[in-house]
Structure 1
């Protein structure tokens, strides 16, 4: 079952969008010295150089953002943010909004997929309902969130990230949130709803067409957000997306690498990439269900290469949690393998 909430003792507070914008613009960078030391050790290990492929890249990524020459994975944290969406009134999901609260209860009782996967990878799971699961406003009629509510959700996510976390996996739950994520992506990349509308939790052809129309209606109403990623997140996002943005931002400031779980989490974090050229450099993408579609398109735009496929489209942080196994394997090889000298193995001439 999920443990108690991980909120930081030194809670961060934001009084304005400008303060948030400043946090997004002033981002620390990876420790290049740590990455160089990790790369040097990789060259000494008993294998051809580069033969472990992305596993070697993952170790450098992990150590660079942890700012450690020897990375560690003692405290792996999974945060699943849950929220409801007023846009479900537009008939964009075959599932009733009540399912969000029901699934949160299921998480807390240990009955969901993420509960099982978290156990297998030795990760601590926290499920956090945002805004007491009260829905956002229908963003085809008005802004999804007031400025105050948006900032509160962002800070909820920010303060949920523990400073002693070694790796953060982000997940979500919220009926209607694929529409919010698609609308946000469409706004950020200035494209039509038909390009970003997906089937989500099982929309049929009529539902897919309706979702695209809803996205376009929202974009038409909120034309002023096209050059402001944070206003886009406020006006056409959702509470759990805002919390995900806050958690991603906090991780950057707290030297914590992040695994983003699929489309919704990646769309939620995407404003950081619009506000800073290396805004998502501390993140990796857990999976793309297919080599086409929303997640693949978004990953391409953001320069993220997924670790997994597997046809995963559940959400809940399930793909991010599965990726932990790969990252643990990368770290185990880096720290546990012998060097050529230690193993008395001849190197190539």
Structure 2
């Protein structure tokens, strides 16, 4: 049963006391890994992934049977400043596409055997223009966090969160810049494909927003510079931690949401791995800042949770080898 919260102070308090991985399950998985019919370390990072997953699921010989993919959608006030190649109406159109099963994330979730849930957050009420005022009030941010918090299925054994929201790379760039410093251009990429003068204008919007709202912790910055879908992703990632459900992080926007949580508690993302490194220019630096090495690097920049959903297959492979392989004793093979 998840604890409840009603405001940002309550959410922040929950992040201060986080459950950890099951030490006995981790030790059991490590022992089992050392007995499997392979040379030590022969499966490389797959071995680390399997042991990590086993610890969070509390089972030294786990399986992945019920992954959940959640896509959150929201609209952004800064879209009116021309930071995207697409109009805000596309957010609702893509939500309809998700619900009809026609998007890339639908195909990859189905391939992974994952349940997919779609949550559209007040699409007819964009966040405020953060160059002029906070994107969300504290109450609005808390409500979005709670949408994500309550969207996680307690019976899921793996979580992927994705997003849709015209102008949300601008919000994510502003969050990364505010959290980690540097210049706005260090964190601002092409997003939906802007370039030239449009990219220059987008970078200026990021710089203006960070200048106006600089300071505060990750949750405060999430409210001032983020979006409803970004806050919802943060809420879902936090809920998964409380439920000890491992998380595969998606691209730049998802990692910006995760970084806001990590800024409040450095141990917040121990239950998460990075599914991929996207083509968005700031993502590699953001992954480095949050201490996550990506499982894949395929030049993706779609969002929706696609890169993380594809990485489910990698984690499934790691767990299948760990739990399904025979030990030397079981196979009657000499361990040398």
Please indicate, yes or no, whether the TM-score normalized by the shorter chain is above 0.5.
yes
| 1:12–1:158 CA contact under 8 A, matched in 2 | no
Q: Which residue of 2 aligns with 1:247?
A: 236
Residue 105 of structure 1 deviates from its aligned partner by 0.2
Q: Compute the displacement of 1:94 (Å).
A: 1.1
Q: Distance in 2 between matches of 1:52 and 1:208?
A: 42
Q: Is 1:303 equivalent to 2:291 in the alignment?
A: yes
Match for residue 277 of structure 1 among 262, 266, 276: 266
Structure-to-structure mapping, 1:181-192, within 5 angstroms: 181-192=172-183
Distance 1:336 1:108 in 2: 35
Q: Does 1:109 align with 2:97?
A: no
- CA displacement 1:180-223 (0-9 Å, x = unmatched): 00000100112221111000010112121111110111112113
1:11: how far off?
A: 7.3
Cα distance, 1:264 vs structure 2: 0.3
Structure 2 match to 1:83: 74
Contact 2:92–2:123 at 8 Å: present in 1 too?
A: no
Alpha-carbon distance, 1:261 to partner: 0.6
Pair 1:335-2:330 in alignment? no
Correspondence 1:312 to 2:296 = no
Q: What is the CA–CA distance in structure 2 between the aligned matches of 1:336 and 1:229, rounded to whole Å?
A: 41
Deviations 1:161-181 (A, max 9, x none): 111110001111111000000
Q: How many residues align?
A: 336
User: 1:19-60: CA deviations, max 9, x gaps?
Assistant: 111111111111121111001101111000111011111111
Q: Is the 8 A contact 2:41 2:47 kept in 1?
A: yes
Question: Which of 276, 280, 288 is 1:287 aligned to?
Answer: 276
How far the C-alpha of 1:134 sits from its partner, in A, is: 2.2
Of 128, 132, 141 in structure 2, the residue corresponding to residue 141 of structure 1 is 132
- Structure 1 regions of 5+ residues with no counterpart? 1-9
Say if 2:11 is the partner of 1:20.
yes
Write out per-residue CA displacement over residues 46-104 of structure 1, whole angstroms, 9 at most, x where no aligned residue. 00011101111111111111222222211100001010000011110110000000000
Please, which of 194, 202, 221 is the counterpart of residue 185 of structure 2?
A: 194
For the 8 Å contact 1:12–1:155, the answer to whether it is kept is no
Over the residues paired in the alignment, what is the CA RMSD in angstroms?
1.3
| Distance of 2:90 and 2:321 partners within structure 1 | 42
**Per-residue deviation at 1:132?**
4.3
Does residue 63 of structure 2 align to residue 72 of structure 1? yes
Larger deviation, residues 61-70 vs 279-288:
61-70
1:42 aligns with 2:30: no
Instruction: Spell out structure 1 runs of 4+ moving beyond 6 A.
Output: none
Say which SS state the counterpart of residue 70 (structure 2) adopts. strand
* Counterpart contact for 1:131–1:153, Cα < 8 Å: no
Normalized against structure 1, the TM-score is what? 0.94
